[in-house]
Amino acid sequence: MSRQLINRNPDLQHLQDDGYDIEVRSGYLLVKNVPYVNSRREIMFGMLVSELTLAGDQTTKPSTHVVHFSGEYPCNRDGAPLEQIRNQSQRERFGDGIEIHHSFSSKPAGGYRDYYEKMTTYVAILSSPAESIDPLVTAKTFPVIVSEEPESPFKYVDTASSRAGIGAVTKRLEKSKVAIIGLGGTGSYVLDLVAKTPVKEIHLFDGDGFLQHNAFRSPGAPSVEELRTRRKKVVYFADLYSKMRNGVIPHEDYLTESNVHELAGMDFAFLCIDSGTARALVATTLHGSGVPFVDVGMGVQQSDGGFLVGILRVTVSTAKSHAHFGRRAPLGDVDSGNEYDRNIQIADLNALNAALAVIKWKKLCGFYLDLENEHHTTYTIDGNTLTNEEKP
């Protein structure tokens, strides 16, 4: 199977994005799990097999309108054979495990313009009788596609980007090393969003254990047994996201003067920590190393009426603009009444704070258009107000 061949050809990619279970094997294009009705009026599943005409690694117009089929002869819902497409019935082996039993002929005027049109036409002819018996039957099974690209961080193919047609712009996020400092409520949601981008390495820094209260403000649903293991947050989340991707690297200690130098090799960092002293240490190190970063903060408190009110903050520091950081982010641990120093944490606010931070990172990478180039954003809950400031 050649995933690279599929990815390089719009007609094959279109088939995959639509959810068809396709494969290129030994020079043939296969569409698997195609529903049809047999002579006993049973719904069965077969495989369409087509020649694949290539010019180098690019598909051309199909050289023939004929397609082969592995399975019983397809019928109408009453069990009568689909004679209008019959070509011949003969068992043949094409090699590499491909065995066919019938071939069909349905030729449009001018032939098929590409393999998407050819294969979907035959899928529709075969599956229509089956769908008339069971409307839930479909050839669009959206199978899991294991990644075959050695450089890809993912263990299966990112079909979301290809379906949306944003594969090229997604490549702008292929930073080699991103650090997430603090895996609490906001940091864990940052990880959830960044893990679904093609960054090569995600380094997690936190010395805390993953405890019961963390489960209520983090993505996912840990079991009682998982909570009882009392693993470090970075270990728990590294194991969780290793199911989906490679390159999630846990660092089980807090960042101090003795190890903060580990951030020097990063391409970008997310600061998701409560301690102002630790924030100052990390920010100074990142700035000195030329590493851009986003710092997040949340201040939520209970009003006299019993409602929760507060503000979320996202502050950016880049090589071109960093002088504002000390004014906008608390850099000490003395209680000064700063609205960002409260410790009420709500999962939806954590997720929103993380989303705002990741959106800003994607703007810096050129993924999203950035008209204002803001380096400080606040969201006020009660007025649903979003403000942009610190525009270089």
Q: Is 101 within 8 Å of 47 (Cβ atoms)?
A: no
Distances from the Cα of 277 to the Cαs of 256, 269, 329, in angstroms? 10, 17, 11
- The pLDDT of residue 1 is 46
DSSP-H helix ranges across 91-164: 115-133, 159-164
Three-state secondary-structure class, residue 229: coil
Strand, helix or coil for residue 248 = strand
Contact 195, 170 (CB under 8 A): no
Cα–Cα distance measured from residue 250 to residue 105, given in angstroms and rounded to the nearest whole number = 57
Place of tokens 């097999």: 49
> CA nearest 156: which of 248, 238, 245?
245
d(CA 91, CA 94): 10
Give dist(CA 170, CA 52) in Å, integer: 29
217 contacts 184 by C-beta, under 8 angstroms: yes
CA distance 27 to 9: 14
Q: Identify the three-state secondary structure at position 154.
A: strand
Q: Would you say 199 and 173 are in contact if contact means Cβ atoms under 8 Å apart? A: yes
Kind plus residue range of the DSSP H or E element containing 44: strand 43-51
Residue 165's pLDDT is 58
Q: What is the pLDDT of residue 311?
A: 94
Q: Which pLDDT score is estimated for 334?
A: 55
- The runs of H, that is alpha helices, within 65-155 are 115-133
Q: Where in the sequence of the chain do the CATH 3.40.50.720 domains occur?
A: 159-389
* pLDDT value, residue 159: 64
* Tens of pLDDT, residue by residue, the chain (392 residues): 467 788 889 999 999 999 999 998 878 899 999 999 999 999 999 999 999 888 878 899 999 999 999 999 999 999 999 999 999 999 998 877 899 999 999 999 989 999 999 999 999 999 999 999 999 999 999 998 877 666 789 888 776 775 665 877 888 998 789 999 999 999 999 999 999 999 999 999 999 999 999 999 999 999 999 999 999 999 999 999 999 999 999 999 999 999 999 999 999 999 999 899 999 999 999 999 999 999 999 999 888 888 999 999 999 999 889 999 999 998 886 554 444 445 688 999 999 999 999 999 999 999 999 999 999 999 999 999 999 999 98
Looking at residue 80, its amino acid is A
Alpha-carbon radius of gyration of the chain: 27
Element spanning 65, H or E: none
The encoded tokens of residue 268 equal 């970008």
Question: Would you state the pLDDT for residue 27?
Answer: 81
| CATH of region 159-389, choose from 3.30.70.20, 1.10.150.120, 3.20.20.140, 3.40.50.720 | 3.40.50.720
**What sign has the CA pseudo-torsion 18, 24, 27, 29?**
negative
